[in-house]
Amino acid sequence: MVARSAIPGFGLAVARLFTIQAAWTYERMLGIGFGFVAEPMLRSLRKNGDTPAFRGAVARQSRFFNAHPYFASLAVGAAVRAELDGVPAEKIERLRSALAGPLGSLGDRLIWAGWLPACAAIGLLLVALSAGPWAVAAFLVLYNVTHVWLRVWGLRAGWRSGVRVAGALAAPGLQRALEIVAPIAALLVGGALVSVLAWIPVRSRWETFAGAGAALVFAAAVRAIQPRATGMVVAGGVLAAVLVLGVLW
């Protein structure tokens, strides 16, 4: 057992969280990055002279893991805590597997479907208000401060909770954020759309509506050919549309 207030290798682990996707593979997904982040926190095993335990723990943490990259830190903290507390390997494996799905869903709902569109909409609103470069700066600050905070919070919360990390997912603040982020994002995106269309010069508004119509037609076509709409198919369709419009324009 180690003191819960002390997170070994915390600074290095936080820095490595930003590279958790650098070694992404179809075989292990985030697994290699997961182990890379966990390694500094597990070094106390090696310092205590238990090198086989250290190597086993790092190898275990480098196995398959798939979740949202911003919330993976919660699983890292919990799994490392379990390793240092001497929890059996089988239970640690089950912990990692059980966290993957909820953390992936949580990140998709909170970030990709909520916070990212909201930040983009705020940037567009500021563009329409002639904020210039400040619009870009506002987007970058709002989005990046939030995701950095989530990574650090996740690592600390996972470390504090260990195998009881499910309680961190039920935190009132997190649940409240899930409730309000989607409606707020929808409101902001709607406002941004109206503001940007009003901001565009009159002579080019019909071009804008034509572009929006073309985007809707393309989205409908992609929807119609699912599940054959692979990344290559979509990318090819976009490239073909750009080339055709370029020639016709």
DSSP string, 93-132: HHHHHHHHHHHHHHHIIIIIIIIHHHHHHHHHHHHHTT-T
d(CA 32, CA 29): 8
Please state, as a whole number, how many other Cβ atoms lie within 10 Å of the Cβ of residue 143. Answer: 18
d(CA 16, CA 21): 10
d(CA 168, CA 172): 9
Convert the pLDDT of each residue in 178-217 to its tens digit. 899 989 998 998 888 878 777 766 555 566 666 666 666 7
pTM: 0.79
Could you give the 3-state DSSP secondary structure of residue 127? helix
Question: What pLDDT is stored for residue 196 in this prediction?
Answer: 78
Which of 222, 187, 219, 18 is closest to 117 using CA atoms?
187
Question: What pLDDT is stored for residue 208 in this prediction?
Answer: 61
Question: What pLDDT is stored for residue 199 in this prediction?
Answer: 78
Convert the pLDDT of each residue in 113-141 to its tens digit. 899 999 999 999 998 888 989 999 999 99
* Confidence tier at 151 by pLDDT (50, 70, 90): very high
Convert the pLDDT of each residue in 31-84 to its tens digit. 999 999 999 999 988 877 778 899 999 999 999 999 999 999 999 999 999 999
Tokens of 221: 């076509």
Question: Which amino acid, 20?
Answer: I
Question: What pLDDT is stored for residue 49 in this prediction?
Answer: 72
Q: Which residue, chain included where needed, has tokens 């804008």?
A: 208
d(CA 111, CA 124): 18
d(CA 118, CA 142): 10
d(CA 175, CA 171): 6
Tokens of 39: 């390694």
pLDDT exceeds cutoff 60 at 29: yes
Question: What pLDDT is stored for residue 211 in this prediction?
Answer: 61
Question: What pLDDT is stored for residue 246 in this prediction?
Answer: 54
Question: Which amino acid, 214?
Answer: A
Which of 71, 76, 65 is closest to 169 using CA atoms?
71
Q: Which residue, chain included where needed, has tokens 């020639």?
A: 247
Give CA angle at 29 (23, 31), nearest 5°: 70
Provide, rounded to the nearest whole percent, the portion of the chain with pLDDT above 70: 78
pLDDT exceeds cutoff 60 at 236: no
Those residues whose C-beta lies under 8 Å from the C-beta of residue 24, and which sit 6 or more positions away, are: 30, 32, 33
Those residues whose C-beta lies under 8 Å from the C-beta of residue 56, and which sit 6 or more positions away, are: 89
Q: Would you kindly state where each structural domain of the chain is located, as residue ranges?
A: 10-199, 203-249
Query: Highest mean pLDDT: which of 13-17, 50-54, 108-112, 169-173?
Result: 13-17
pLDDT exceeds cutoff 60 at 15: yes
d(CA 98, CA 75): 10
Question: What pLDDT is stored for residue 194 in this prediction?
Answer: 79
